Amino acid sequence: MNALTVSNMSVSYDKQLALENVSFSVPEGSMTGIIGPNGAGKSTLIKSILQLLPTVSGTVEVFKKPLRSQRKIIGYVPQRSEVDWDFPTNALDVVLMGRYNHIGMFKRASKKEVTWAKHCLQRVGMQDYASRQISQLSGGQQQRVFLARAMAQDAKIYFMDEPFAGVDASTEKAIIQLMKEWKNEGKTVLVVHHDLQTVNDYFDHVLLLNKTPIAYGETNRVFTLANLEEAYGGKIAFLQQGPKAAKGST
């Protein structure tokens, strides 16, 4: 069964198309890396799928139902740089936000929700930081808090926007570990990813994107030099130069 079906999605910024006719289907339980050069529309794609941005056209189905009706089974890890980390709140509070659509309007989090949030913090190794002000966490720790929040959502399909950006090696390992656990639990994961060197290790499916999908499918069939060259233009030579050079950044 397909966990996600995106059909004919187009998005424009200032009358310029940022995404053009994107269609693809993601099978349940897969781990998909969304790969492409800077400005290819990777983050835009995730935000458009989640309807956080206005789209020109396109439909999204999650488990064969319109996305709107499936919010409770969708988990989201936004880019860490998009929030104000000086905000007066602590790690546990942020994780609890993952439960807000379950808690309901005007109500406070129940004990059960708090216990669950603490459990999620523990699963990412952050149990000792629950009451720590979020600005006093390192970049890697902040990312782990975001992961714990996504985990708290207890979703069936997860969208992650550059979760590895600016994190240390141990956090990257922790993220990968968690994603593997999600996969073992049958959850579907889509990740905007930059580091071409790790694609083969991390993902069983790849979406190569440059405003429009270049290729989508199982990693060993899609992640080929020919496809990469098509997606990245002539800028692919660094692949042969060793792992460091392939680290992208935005």
Q: Any bridge partners for residue 74, and if so which?
A: 157
| Residues 13/53, Cβ–Cβ less than 8 Å | no
Q: Any bridge partners for residue 226, and if so which?
A: none
Phi, psi of 30 (to 5 degrees): -95, 160
Is residue 84 at the binding interface for other proteins, with CB under 8 A as the rule?
Answer: yes
**Alpha helix ranges (H) inside the chain:** 42-49, 91-97, 100-103, 111-123, 139-152, 169-184, 199-202, 219-222, 225-232
Binding piece for other proteins, criterion CB under 8 A, among 18-26, 77-85, 181-189, 194-202: 77-85
Residues 108-167 that bind other proteins (CB under 8 A): 108, 133, 149, 153, 159
CB nearer to other proteins: pick between 143 and 153: 153
Shortest separation between residue 154's beta carbon and other proteins, angstroms: 12
Helix (H, G, I), strand (E, B) or coil at 204: coil
Is residue 80 at the binding interface for other proteins, with CB under 8 A as the rule?
Answer: no
Tokens read off for 223: 């992640």
* Cα 241 from Cα 248, distance rounded (Å): 14
Is residue 87 at the binding interface for other proteins, with CB under 8 A as the rule?
Answer: yes
CB nearer to other proteins: pick between 95 and 215: 95
Site string for other proteins, 31-60 (x = CB under 8 A): ----------------x--xxx--------
Shortest separation between residue 94's beta carbon and other proteins, angstroms: 8
**Angle subtended by helix axes 169-184 and 139-152, to nearest 10:** 10
CB nearer to other proteins: pick between 18 and 236: 18
Is residue 97 at the binding interface for other proteins, with CB under 8 A as the rule?
Answer: yes
Residue type, 119: H
From the list 54, 88, 234, 242, which residue makes contact with other proteins (rule: CB under 8 A)?
A: 88
Shortest separation between residue 50's beta carbon and other proteins, angstroms: 5
Is residue 14 at the binding interface for other proteins, with CB under 8 A as the rule?
Answer: no
Helix (H, G, I), strand (E, B) or coil at 189: strand
Upper half-sphere CA count for residue 1 (Cβ side, 13 Å): 11
Q: Any bridge partners for residue 212, and if so which?
A: 210
Binding piece for other proteins, criterion CB under 8 A, among 57-65, 105-113, 119-127, 176-184: 105-113
Contacting positions for other proteins (CB under 8 A): 47, 50-52, 68, 71-72, 74, 76, 78, 82-84, 87-90, 93-94, 97-98, 100-101, 103, 105-108, 133, 149, 153, 159
